[in-house]
């Protein structure tokens, strides 16, 4: 392959701190401790890149309607990995999931450069032992593979041990018609609709999830949605609510923002457990997950919800909260701050946080929302792979939901189960287009959630959704594939079980 241990040059850092060691056809990149904290490792492989006719680059976090096949030069560095089509074959260049640095790739006429961001916060990491920053992975398609099939094979090669749900993930989410304006009664009414839509699922199929999104917290309002998480007066006891949801016929799920709290309401958290980086939130304070006090708070929060009977935990905002940047900002973080534990890279800090949440969930399913997908692979079983869809503007659902579904579908069942977000049924968006989106989701064997305002669906539309819930509940092998994804950022043609589907978005 084009990446080997002969045609490269270590650009940064100088000296002998970086070494490359073969692991089969891969290369493991190691960084040794240094008296000077190291911010990044840069390695360039030299070869002619003129064969790269089209490039598909990934991003560190959620997709922002910007995924698609592009000609060179790219506007931004490719993050984690990229695929290349030369007109006949598909190539893949990337790093193994679960790496210990934030990795990106720059493509130039005379080669490609891998940048391993090894910062601790916004400063260099102070390593105490040798660190495996990343392991490169390359792929060349076989003669019979389509570019989509090759990307699926490449993703499977990047993740050795994916963690996948042991059941189909489908159901209802409260957010996309209420935007937080929910009560105990509205949640139970949503659960009844969810159970009704699942009424044609086979008896042996697992029940749908009823996910209570933002709006249940006593201390939340339109300007603040962090902790401490205590049920509002309009909800009452959350354990009994979970029981009622289960009695209706759904599995209860719930949303939290674990890293942001109102510190004056959390006297149990020591003052030194808050992050130096308080750039993103308007109110509240962000926790430092490298501290024991912050970890105890997270364990108490997640463990308490699981003990109340919630079998799906959706955690949100860890990227912007901890890095101090909106997820719409392509920069990872800013300079001049660090974690309390300065010996770990940012990638290690996030992996340890995700692992803590997953282990504390104690068998409940976890959806990571606004997280770093490559770092969550092998830890979380479900990852929200795109930005929010919308109950107000169909164009947002089209640009975020469908773009995400099509271009992150190769990660589905290879890294984790992907979640392209909800089909939102409200008076503001076309029901028929959301039904088409729902149909795609139900065929993909990815997570399938809808959000629907009361009374918005006709009996005929409910019947159509019942069939989609039934299909999703079967958990059949994923074979949905976009056909025109090399020509369109919002693909219109798909194939599943040898049948073609066409949509006019």
Dihedral sign of CA atoms 57, 107, 157, 127 in order: negative
The DSSP secondary structure of 176-235, one letter per residue, reads HHHTT---HHHHHHHHHHHHHHTTTS-TTSPPPEEEE-TT-BTT-BTTB--B---B-TTT
The gap from C-alpha 82 to its chain's centroid, in whole angstroms, comes to 17
Residues 179, 203 within the same domain: yes
Residues 185, 97 within the same domain: no
- 125 burial type by CB count under 10 A (0-12 exposed, 13-18 middle, 19+ buried): buried
Residues 327, 471 within the same domain: yes
Residue 400: CATH number of its domain: 3.20.20.70
Residues 77, 106 within the same domain: yes
Q: Is residue 346 part of a domain?
A: yes
Q: How far is CA 232 from CA 164, 209, 244, 260, 314, in A?
A: 33, 22, 17, 18, 19
Task: Examine the fold and report which residue of 158, 184, 206 is the final residue of a domain before the chain moves on.
Answer: 158
Angle at which helix 238-248 crosses helix 184-197, to 10 degrees, equals 20
Q: Is residue 1 part of a domain?
A: no
pLDDT of residue 1: 60
Q: Is residue 2 part of a domain?
A: no
Q: Is residue 317 part of a domain?
A: yes
Domain count within the chain: 2
Residues 151, 190 within the same domain: no
**Residues ≥6 apart with Cβ < 8 Å to 294:** 269, 273, 274, 287, 288
Residues 76, 191 within the same domain: no
Q: Where are the alpha helices (DSSP H) in 249-308?
A: 292-307
Residues 428, 291 within the same domain: yes
Residues 153, 294 within the same domain: no
Q: Is residue 484 part of a domain?
A: no
Q: Is residue 504 part of a domain?
A: no
pLDDT of residue 5: 65
Dihedral sign of CA atoms 321, 325, 329, 334 in order: negative
Q: Is residue 353 part of a domain?
A: yes
Task: Examine the fold and report which residue of 130, 158, 186 is the final residue of a domain before the chain moves on.
Answer: 158
pLDDT of residue 397: 97
* pLDDT tens-place values along the chain, 505 residues long: 678 767 889 999 988 999 999 999 999 999 999 999 999 999 999 999 999 999 999 999 888 888 999 999 998 899 999 999 999 999 999 999 999 999 999 999 999 999 999 999 999 999 999 999 999 999 999 888 999 999 999 999 999 999 999 999 999 999 999 999 999 999 999 999 999 999 999 999 999 999 999 999 999 888 899 999 999 988 999 999 999 999 999 999 999 999 999 999 999 999 999 999 999 887 999 999 999 999 999 999 999 999 999 999 999 999 999 999 876 676 899 999 999 999 999 999 999 999 999 999 999 999 999 999 999 999 999 999 999 999 999 999 999 999 999 999 999 999 999 999 999 999 999 999 999 999 999 999 999 999 999 999 999 999 999 999 999 999 987 789 999 999 999 999 999 988 999 999 9
Residues 45, 110 within the same domain: yes
Residues 117, 250 within the same domain: no
Q: Is residue 217 part of a domain?
A: yes
Residues 193, 241 within the same domain: yes
Q: How far is CA 242 from CA 18, 199, 239, 365, in A?
A: 52, 20, 5, 15
pLDDT of residue 149: 97
Backbone torsions φ then ψ of 336, nearest 5 degrees? 90, 25
pLDDT of residue 66: 86
Which residue range is the domain that position 263 belongs to? 170-478
Residues 151, 191 within the same domain: no
């Amino acid at each position: 392959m084009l990446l080997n241990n002969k045609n490269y040059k270590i650009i940064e850092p100088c000296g002998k701190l970086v070494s490359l060691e073969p692991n089969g056809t891969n290369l493991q990149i190691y960084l040794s401790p240094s008296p000077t904290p190291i911010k990044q490792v840069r390695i360039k492989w030299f070869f002619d890149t003129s064969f790269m006719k089209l490039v598909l680059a990934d991003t560190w976090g959620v997709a922002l309607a910007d995924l698609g096949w592009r000609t060179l030069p790219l506007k931004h560095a490719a993050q984690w990995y990229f695929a290349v089509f030369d007109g006949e074959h598909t190539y893949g260049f990337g790093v193994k999931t679960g790496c210990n640095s934030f990795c990106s790739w720059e493509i130039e006429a005379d080669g490609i450069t891998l940048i391993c961001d090894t910062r601790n916060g916004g400063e260099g990491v102070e390593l105490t032992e040798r660190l495996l920053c990343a392991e490169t992975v390359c792929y060349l398609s076989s003669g019979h593979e389509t570019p989509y099939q090759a990307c699926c094979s490449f993703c499977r090669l990047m993740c050795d041990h994916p963690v996948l749900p042991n059941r189909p993930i489908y159901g209802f989410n409260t957010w996309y018609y209420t935007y937080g304006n929910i009560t105990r009664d509205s949640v139970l009414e949503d659960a009844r609709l969810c159970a009704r839509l699942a009424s044609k699922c086979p008896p042996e199929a697992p029940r749908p999830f009823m996910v209570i999104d933002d709006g249940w917290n006593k201390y939340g309002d339109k300007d603040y949605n962090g902790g401490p998480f205590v049920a509002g007066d309009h909800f009452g006891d959350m354990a009994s609510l979970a029981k009622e949801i289960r009695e209706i016929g759904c599995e209860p799920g719930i949303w939290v923002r674990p890293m942001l709290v109102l510190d004056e309401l959390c006297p149990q958290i020591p003052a030194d457990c808050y992050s130096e980086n308080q750039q993103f939130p308007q109110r509240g304070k962000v926790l430092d997950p490298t501290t024991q006090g912050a970890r105890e708070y997270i364990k108490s929060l997640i463990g308490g919800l699981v003990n109340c009977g919630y079998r799906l935990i959706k955690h949100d905002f860890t990227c912007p909260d901890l890095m101090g940047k909106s997820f719409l900002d392509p920069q990872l973080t800013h300079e001049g701050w660090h974690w309390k534990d300065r010996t770990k890279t940012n990638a290690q800090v996030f992996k340890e946080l995700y692992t803590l949440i997953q282990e504390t969930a104690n068998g409940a399913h976890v959806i990571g929302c606004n997280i770093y997908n490559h770092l969550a692979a092998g830890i979380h079983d479900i990852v929200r792979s795109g930005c929010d869809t919308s109950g107000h503007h169909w164009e947002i659902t089209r640009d975020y939901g469908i773009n995400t579904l099509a271009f992150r579908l190769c990660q589905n069942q290879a890294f984790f189960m992907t979640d392209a977000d909800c089909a939102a049924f409200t008076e503001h968006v076309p029901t028929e287009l959301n039904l088409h989106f729902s149909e795609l989701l139900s065929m993909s064997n990815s997570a399938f959630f809808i959000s629907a305002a009361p009374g918005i669906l006709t009996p005929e539309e409910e019947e159509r959704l019942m069939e989609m819930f039934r299909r999703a509940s079967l958990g059949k092998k994923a074979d949905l594939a976009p056909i025109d994804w090399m020509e369109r950022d919002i693909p219109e043609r798909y194939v599943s079980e040898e049948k073609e589907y066409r949509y006019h978005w």
